Amino acid sequence: MTTSPVKPAFLSSGEDLGVVAVAFSGGQGKGGVDAGPDALIKAGLLDDLKEDLGYKLHYDGLIHSYDDLIPSHDPPIDNMKRPTACSKVNARLHEQTYEHASQGRMVLTLGGDHSIAIGSISGVARGIRERLGKPLAVIWVDAHADLNTFETSPSGNVHGMPVAFLSGLCKHDVFSWLTEQCLIPADKLVYIGLRDVDRGEKKLLRDNKIKAFSMHEVDRYGIGKVVDMALEYIGDDTPIHLSFDVDACDPVHAPSTGTPVRGGLTLREGDYICEALHQTGKLVGMDLVEVNPMILAKEGGADTWQVAETVRTGCSLVRCALGESLL
Ligand SMILES: [Mn+2]
Q: Which is it for the CA torsion 42, 44, 50, 51, positive or negative? A: positive
Q: Is 100 considered catalytic here?
A: no
Q: Identify any residues that bridge with 141 across adjacent strands, giving them in sequence order.
A: 192, 244
Note the CATH architecture for domain 16-321: 3-Layer(aba) Sandwich (3.40)
Q: Which amino acid is at 263?
A: G
Q: Is 73 considered catalytic here?
A: no
Q: Show Cβ contacts of residue 8 under 8 Å, excluding neighbours closer than 6 positions.
A: 14, 106, 281, 282, 283, 284
Ion ligand 1: residue ranges with CB closer than 5 A? 114, 142, 146, 245
pLDDT of residue 68: 97
Axis-axis angle for helices 267-280, 305-321 (nearest 10): 20
Q: Is 159 considered catalytic here?
A: yes
Distance CA 232, CA 237 (A): 11
Check residue 268 and report its DSSP letter: H
Q: Is 245 considered catalytic here?
A: yes
**Concatenated DSSP letters for 19-87?**
EEEE---TTSS-TTGGGHHHHHHHTTHHHIIIIIT--EEEEEEEEE--GGG--S----BTTBSSHHHHH
Cα 46 to ligand 1 centroid, rounded to whole Å: 23
The active-site residue out of 142, 269, 271, 275 is: 142
How many Cα atoms within 13 Å fall on the side-chain side of residue 218?
Answer: 25
Q: Which amino acid is at 271?
A: D
Cα 314 to ligand 1 centroid, rounded to whole Å: 14
The active-site residue out of 113, 290, 309, 324 is: 290
Burial 274-291 (b: 16+ CB within 10 A, else e): bbbbbeebbbbbbbbbbb
Q: Is 172 considered catalytic here?
A: no
pLDDT of residue 300: 55
The active-site residue out of 113, 196, 198, 245 is: 245
Q: What is the phi/psi pair of residue 77, to 5°?
A: -125, 125
pLDDT of residue 280: 98
The active-site residue out of 64, 100, 159, 253 is: 159
The active-site residue out of 247, 250, 269, 275 is: 247
Distance CA 15, CA 163 (A): 29
Which residues in the chain land under pLDDT 50? none
Neighbouring CB atoms inside 10 A of 70's CB total: 16
pLDDT of residue 244: 98
Q: Is 38 considered catalytic here?
A: no
pLDDT of residue 301: 56
What pLDDT digit, counting tens, does each position of 180-233 carry? 999 999 999 999 999 999 999 999 999 999 999 999 999 999 999 999 999 999
Cα 245 to ligand 1 centroid, rounded to whole Å: 5
